[in-house]
């Protein structure tokens, strides 16, 4: 996980006292694009410490309201069905199919010195990603993400910290998803013929 600390401050005044209040400002500039391949349409794929392990191919999806764990991560963390609590609401996959979750599990995600407990919904479907982190994680961490700049920023200990995306992994995941699409479509047609 690549985390860097940048000074960015808003020197305001606390209305209850005469002391200045230092608040980090979260934002992006042209300098944040340095080190990225531009132009691009890549999703933000990062490495995060989940359950004490560095986990690659985690997609940051600020448009989603649930965190998802896929089979590769479930097996990699050596989780068992007994580790899961029931989750009864069906989900809709990227392909528009209804997916019945296997259950849910609370796991810590550590970014720098910050730890956020996340409720992952475990699904047994293929994905090129190991997990998806979404708005609940971003909001609890106080983070903002930018696919254009390929990073997420969050305040920590009066600093602005960054989590850098991995464009190479994002492109590999896209290729894997595209290669899988014809198989899914032919499978869906076959199911419709039954």
Strands of the chain, DSSP E? 3-6, 9-13, 20-24, 44-50, 53-60, 67-69, 91-92, 98-99, 103-111, 114-122, 131-133, 144-146, 151-156, 159-164
What pLDDT is attached to residue 177? 87
How does pLDDT run across 93-144, given as a tens digit for each residue? 777 889 999 999 999 999 999 999 999 999 999 899 999 999 999 999 999 9
User: 183 vs 142, which has greater pLDDT?
Assistant: 142
> Where does 33-189 sit in CATH, by number?
2.40.70.10
Per-domain boundaries in the chain: 33-189
Measured CA to CA, the distance from residue 1 to residue 108 in angstroms comes to 15
How does pLDDT run across 28-57, given as a tens digit for each residue? 999 999 999 999 999 999 999 999 999 999
**Residue 97 main-chain phi, psi, to 5 deg:** -90, 150
194 contacts: CB under 8 Å, gap ≥ 6: none
């Amino acid at each position: 996980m690549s985390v860097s600390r940048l000074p960015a401050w808003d020197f305001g005044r606390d209305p209850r006292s005469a002391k200045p209040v230092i608040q980090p400002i979260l934002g992006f500039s042209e300098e944040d694009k340095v080190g990225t391949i531009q132009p691009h349409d890549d999703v933000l794929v990062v490495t995060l410490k989940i359950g004490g392990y560095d986990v690659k191919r985690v997609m940051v999806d600020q448009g989603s309201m649930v965190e998802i764990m896929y089979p590769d991560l479930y097996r990699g963390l050596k989780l068992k069905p007994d580790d899961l609590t029931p989750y009864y609401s069906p989900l809709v996959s990227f392909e528009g199919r209804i997916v019945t979750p296997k259950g849910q599990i609370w796991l810590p995600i550590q970014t720098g010195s910050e730890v956020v407990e996340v409720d992952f919904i475990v699904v047994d479907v293929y994905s090129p990603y190991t997990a998806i982190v979404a708005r609940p994680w971003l909001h609890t961490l106080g983070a903002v993400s930018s696919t254009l700049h390929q990073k997420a920023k969050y305040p920590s200990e009066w600093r602005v910290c960054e989590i850098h995306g991995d464009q190479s992994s994002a492109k590999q995941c896209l290729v894997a998803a595209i290669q899988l699409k014809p198989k899914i479509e032919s499978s869906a047609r076959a199911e419709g013929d039954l």
